[in-house]
Amino acid sequence: MFAIMEAARLEALHLAQDPVTGLKAIIAIHSTKLGPALGGCRYLAYPDDISAMRDAVRLAHGMSYKAALAGLDHGGGKAVIIRPPHVDNRAALFEAFGRVIESLKGRYITAVDSGTSSADMDCIAQQTRHVTSTTSAGDPSPHTAMGVFAGIRATALARLGSDDLEGLRIAVQGLGNVGYGLAEQLHAAGAELLVSDLDGGRVRLAVEELGAQPIAPEALLSTPCDILAPCGLGGVLNSHTVRQLHCAAVAGAANNQLASVEVADELEARGILYAPDYVVNSGGLIYVALRHRDESLVAITSRMSQIGLRLTEIFAHAQADKRSPARVADDLAERLLYGN
């Protein structure tokens, strides 16, 4: 366990259980150097406890990098609640989790993630104020989509010489909360949409409402396009899939798109510009962090507008150093977090 923590440079790992409600929770606090650790809470079944712990550690690490490059005074954290096969009272389980968060005295602030909802956050809020994305705070997904749209424009500018998306062929993989909102904005900007989702209903909607061209999920990555926007699951870019790509750039919402950082070098070698995922998809985090502090929508929008500028800066460094933007972003984040 300590080897895993050390490898991720994790500050603290908290385990909590409550036999009455069935709660089994792991809270990974990667860093509080820049401020309280902020990051979502997953509620999923895991094959074993170690897999759950690894998930929390990996995600907390990513949240620190995302918060640092978004200029937020927060560190990264993530919670995982191991979903029991059966739960009598979901509200009581999340309230018990709220008491665990309260015991950390503000070192970790939680939010919605896979398997949790704003209603769950409301239950947590009964016990602690260190929670965001409650029903009243609102869903971060539209803000993530806005940030990704800005990121795609910055990517088009760097790779294709203009941030005008009119007529560009943009392939969107995954039309969920973020992907569909992004597709709407791309359509409004005049882009030609190529879309896929495992849910045929989402694809039909995009065809009818946005004039999108449907692509089978297994064919999307190899479909010729200007920009590929992965907005489904992570890990889509690996040595095998990178060879199939027919695009000038990749910029999308999915977390952990690269199977490993070496894949970023392979993209670079193929002349495909990669926009680091945790910079592109930071709009939701910016929203929840600033909303938690009751900042105005104007302040939030102004902070979000920096996503494109930050990317442009990263692309310029990467071009000057002839390195992948993914490596440049990691270096920048590590300098902020560790001062090296």
Residues at the site binding ligand NAD, with contacts judged by CB under 6 A: 140-141, 144, 173-179, 196-199, 202, 217, 231-234, 253-255, 281, 284
Query: E strand or H helix at 82, and its extent?
Result: strand 75-82
Rounded to a whole number of angstroms, the minimum distance from the CB of residue 12 to ligand NAD is: 23
Q: Which residue is nearest to ligand NAD (CB)?
A: 176
Nearer to ligand NAD by Cβ, of 32 and 141: the residue is: 141
Rounded to a whole number of angstroms, the minimum distance from the CB of residue 39 to ligand NAD is: 11
Catalytic one of 66, 78, 105, 322: 78
Rounded to a whole number of angstroms, the minimum distance from the CB of residue 6 to ligand NAD is: 26
Burial class (CB in 10 A: 0-12, 13-18, 19+), 161: exposed
322 part of the active site:
no
Q: Distance (Å, rounded) from C-alpha 337 to C-alpha 333? A: 6
Nearer to ligand NAD by Cβ, of 133 and 324: the residue is: 133
DSSP alpha helix (H) spans, 189-296: 200-210, 239-244, 261-269, 277-280, 283-292
Neighbours of 225 (CB within 10 A): 24
Determine the residue type at 251. Answer: A
Q: Token digits for 319?
A: 């071009």
Rounded to a whole number of angstroms, the minimum distance from the CB of residue 252 to ligand NAD is: 8
DSSP alpha helix (H) spans, 229-324: 239-244, 261-269, 277-280, 283-292, 297-304, 306-321
Catalytic residue ranges: 78
